[in-house]
Amino acid sequence: MTHRVLTIEDQPDIRRLIRMTLEFKGYQVEEAGDGAQGLALARSASPDLILLDVMMPGMDGLTVGRTLAADPVLSRIPVVMLSALGAAGDVQAGMASGVQGYLVKPFSPKQLLELVQRLIEEARAGA
């Protein structure tokens, strides 16, 4: 079964690296360049997991994370926050927004793949 991952990230280069990493392992990748577009795609694409940047223009990742967590349908989708902000307070704020994982940029493709696979498996087991 092909798993679908939605990447909500304003930097095209980072989206491309994530896409290449995930597609190499057989994932189907959808992309959004901002928070509002990401929420719309989350509702229409039914992803198995969402990768969410923190610092984006307009609606930031913390707001998107809280919106996803508050939605009865979307809250079942695991969310991994991606950020260059790696201080303990930043990670704590990210996790408090309702996400299931937090990766500090730059992260390795291996870290990304392991976390994506684990969270999708955990979500499937809990469904």
- Going residue by residue through the chain, which has 127 residues, state the pLDDT in tens, using 9 for 90 and above: 799 999 999 999 999 999 999 999 999 999 999 999 999 999 999 999 999 999 999 999 999 999 999 999 999 999 999 999 899 999 999 999 999 999 999 999 999 999 999 999 999 898 6
| Domains of the chain by start residue, with CATH | 4-121 (3.40.50.2300)
Long-range pairs, 9-15, Cβ under 8 A, ≥24: 9/33, 9/51, 9/52, 9/53, 9/56, 9/82, 10/34, 10/53, 10/55, 10/56, 10/57, 11/53, 14/53, 14/82, 14/105
